[in-house]
Structure 1
Amino acid sequence: MLILHISDIHFRKGEVGSAMDPNHHLRTTLLRDAKQQCEQLGTAPDAILVSGDIAFSGDREEYQFAQSWFEELCREVGCDVSAISVIPGNHDVQRDIARKPMIQAAHKDIKDTDAHLLNSKLRGYLEDEDTGKQLYGPLENYNNFASQYLCSLMPPNRTQTERRYKLNDGSTLCVTGLNSSFVSSHADKERSLFVDPASFTLTNEYGVTHLVFCHHPYNWLANGHELADHLGDVSQIQLFGHEHTNRIELHRDRVHVAASAAHPDRTERGWEPGYNLLQLSVRSENGERLLDVTAHVRVWQNRPGQFIAKKDKTEDYFFQSIRLEPWEPQKAETSELAGSQPAELTTGPVLSATEEDASMTSLRALSLKYFKLTFSKKLAIAGKLNLLEEDDTKLPDFERFRQVLLRAHERGLLGEFESEIDKFDA
């Protein structure tokens, strides 16, 4: 399985797409390099994981550009746009909204809470309809963008993303994205942000390897020590962004990857754009199951300007084998070992009951088509197929149309749903 990991792109309104875009050459070179690397590895990415800071100021125009660029990235590396999963970073927060007195008061109340009472405090805020919306309000533009990838977030039941893949031996890779930006604002500093209690529900499962990606590393989280301890028990691969400094830590039972920024500010000390490619494979040796992780860290060099491999001593990659618990596929599973196709796609309890892999793949592809339509066209399709319910009026647009898509799936109407979309595209 191949994973492309990219972080901190910072698409900035007024720069991207302009005649004087300072990062146009950098982005174009990244696309070319990613294409060449995938060709050399002999495969397209099975997953593209974007660990936050897609936008610079959470502006709608920045996400419009991001959508187009992600489509171009997927064309270059040879995968479908449905391979993309995203999580938010602090630059995906609309700071003008996060500055509002009521939101700042909620942030202060959370930050002032004693550590042993923190989970209870966070649950109280996120489980309450009004305060949950308040904390997530600054992420609305991000959520409108993330909805097309089925990665939008909404408390209390969907505060992280999850997607499952088949590994080469038939076992499962569970990819979970955590939200560390729901208490983010202009006042951010180390140890001032949080992950919510749902992040601590990740648990060991028979035949499941866990990969977790999060924007902020542990040192930026007030509950970072607790998260590090928990993920150390359950997660074999951990990916982070935010600090714009690439770092690979190879531990006995896990691999920790800190990403370079795809678009670091050019005035930053140690300016070094980059991205990562991770190869995963399970093998047996002397009766043990081993997860082989090969990390290709691509970093920018100047004069001549190009992406090159970051070396681990003499090697152009970093490698670690992690021992996994014993596991054997059930007889019913042995006929399904078809590489690393998505086994299950979930972004919360609503999607976790999905029965067929093929239907989930088509649902994700359909979501990309549906969310490209205008508001009025999405509404017209929902109305024609009777997919709207009275309570939907209380929901933000991204959530209302997500529910419409899920109802079409639940009621066996995806064929009719796609036909209606195609009528507008014709």
Structure 2
Amino acid sequence: MPIFVHISDIHFGQEKRTGEVIVNNDVKERLITDARRTLDAIGKYPAAGIIVTGDIAYAGKVDEYKRAAEWLDRLAEAIGCSKASVHLVPGNHDIDRDEIGSGLELMLREVGEKGEPLLDHYLAREPDRKEMYARFAAYIPFAEGYNCPLDRNGGLAGDKPVHLGDGKSLRFIGLNTALTCSKGKGEEGHLIVGERQRVLPMEAGQELVVLAHHPMRWLLDGADAFSYIKNRARLLITGHEHNPTVDVEGTPDGGKLLVLAAGATVPPSNEVLLYTYNVIEFGLDATGEKLVVTVHPRSWDHERKNFVADTSPLKGQDPTFTLDCPNFCSGLDGGASAQSEDDVAQPQETVVAAPAAPLEAQSTPMPDDFALVLLKFFRDLTPGQRLKVLVRLGELPDDWTEELSHAIERQVVDDLGSSGRLQPLSEAIEWVLSEEENGGKTEHG
């Protein structure tokens, strides 16, 4: 059964501003070693992947994501998962505040005061939408590489399946809670995710794990978002507040929602907090109908100068939680025996199998070879290098002058993969990288 290393609030780049380069780098090195040892100790190596609940960067700059990518690759190698097996969402530090002019700042403040109708108004206007997402310019290709793209119409920040077996799977849904973040303080209770994100999907055989940077109370529409989560998800994982806790919320159907709030993997220097991360196991109970989640919190011991087990976030609870899963039992209605008389009196939703759909509603994991090429194309290439790759493959004319959007790039890459041209794409990527290393002297051909 899958096991993940969960990190949050790494803040790559802050050490340059605080003078703690040596200390923070040492902590990140120790985390890599500790994660491998923890997996070995509980007999769960290799891991299935890495979960990152936002604030990967500190100022949303390209060089910060470059360093994050290098570190994530090393962590993935240590815990035995593919470099592409990363689930992530953006945080408030993943926006580039230098891209927020006075007009955008006023617009975002108004949205926080007036609510979703105004957000929808701005999202419907291409110039406003483009300005809003310019703040995520460095995050967007980084996340696209991990197949956790930002929907630049105000939608989700990733949607990826993880199979458990026997026709059952987890579906990792990412919320972009940083969508309306601005420069200012006092944003608690004024951020908005909007209905395009908070109306969560439901599908027979799948249970949701929702990833978000901000806890729901930071959202103006947080109560409604949390209502959807309690009714449609089994686990909510958040970051931002740097206070690690594990709580259980009751759900309207009498079940449980596990809420895991992360500490900071690398907290800001002005906070007297521990460096923390989690190891999270997912499995099924003996009946195969319930989800079993075990949380192993890890935190920094200042005396030992290393990570150790830390049960304090569990607040006396057993680290293993067994959660009822209606979608695993008999479709979205949870089975006739689970319905009240009032439920039976109402028309029931007809469950139909989801079609083999595009990326926004994936039902099967992406093949490893395609995932690794996607990672390298978006995360490791500059926009100019990506353009060179597509021109070399004949997907674009040599004299292409129009702006090449991520949507166009992704469509071309998907088409190349589905048409069996993954190898030429991989070779073109290596050619461009080699040309760069050789100062542009690589022979064309």
Q: In the alignment, what sits opposite 1:54?
A: 56
Q: In the alignment, what sits opposite 1:302?
A: 302
SS of residue matched to 2:159 = strand
Q: In the alignment, what sits opposite 2:402?
A: 393
| Structure 1 pair 392–178 and aligned structure 2 pair: CA distance change class (3 A) | farther
Q: In the alignment, what sits opposite 1:370?
A: 377
Amino acid at match of 1:367: L
Residue among 277, 280, 296 paired with 1:278 = 280
TM-score (norm 2): 0.81
Q: In the alignment, what sits opposite 2:234?
A: 236
Work out which of the two has the higher radius of gyration on C-alpha atoms and give 1 or 2: 2
Given that residues 392 and 400 in structure 1 are in contact (C-alpha distance below 8 angstroms), is that contact kept between their aligned partners in structure 2?
A: no
> Per-residue deviation at 1:80?
1.2
Q: In the alignment, what sits opposite 1:259?
A: 262
Q: 2 CA distance for matches of 1:7 and 1:235?
A: 20
Q: 1 CA distance for matches of 2:178 and 2:327?
A: 37
| Structure 1 pair 228–368 and aligned structure 2 pair: CA distance change class (3 A) | same
Note the 1:336-355 alignment, pairs <5 A. Answer: 350-352=358-360
Q: How many residues align?
A: 398
Note the 1:7-18 alignment, pairs <5 A. Answer: 7-12=8-13, 15=16
2:141 equivalent to 1:137: no
Q: In the alignment, what sits opposite 2:34?
A: 33
> Per-residue deviation at 1:33?
0.7
Residue among 180, 191, 194 paired with 1:193 = 191
Q: What RMSD in Å do the two structures reach over aligned CA positions?
A: 2.9
Residues 320-376 of structure 1: CA deviation (Å, up to 9, x unaligned):
11112274799xxxxxxxxxxxxxxxxxx852477975x643221111222324544
Q: 1 CA distance for matches of 2:270 and 2:236?
A: 28
TM-score (norm 1): 0.85
Q: In the alignment, what sits opposite 2:210?
A: 212
2:290 equivalent to 1:290: yes
Q: In the alignment, what sits opposite 2:426?
A: 418
Q: 2 CA distance for matches of 1:19 and 1:262?
A: 14
Amino acid at match of 2:266: H
Q: Which moved more, 1:81-90 or 1:364-373?
A: 364-373
> Per-residue deviation at 1:185?
1.8
Residues 245-266 of structure 1: CA deviation (Å, up to 9, x unaligned):
1000024411100001001123
| Structure 1 pair 165–321 and aligned structure 2 pair: CA distance change class (3 A) | same
Q: In the alignment, what sits opposite 1:344?
A: none
Q: 2 CA distance for matches of 1:392 and 1:158?
A: 29
Residues 381-416 of structure 1: CA deviation (Å, up to 9, x unaligned):
2113332499993444x4443333123224432232
Given that residues 8 and 241 in structure 1 are in contact (C-alpha distance below 8 angstroms), is that contact kept between their aligned partners in structure 2?
A: yes
Amino acid at match of 2:325: L
Q: In the alignment, what sits opposite 1:95?
A: 97
| Structure 1 pair 297–386 and aligned structure 2 pair: CA distance change class (3 A) | same
Q: Which has the higher contact order (CA 8 A, sep 6+)?
A: 1
Amino acid at match of 2:218: W
User: Structure 1 unaligned runs (5+)?
Assistant: 331-348
Q: 2 CA distance for matches of 1:408 and 1:356?
A: 19
Given that residues 123 and 197 in structure 1 are in contact (C-alpha distance below 8 angstroms), is that contact kept between their aligned partners in structure 2?
A: no
Residues 223-244 of structure 1: CA deviation (Å, up to 9, x unaligned):
1111111100001010000000
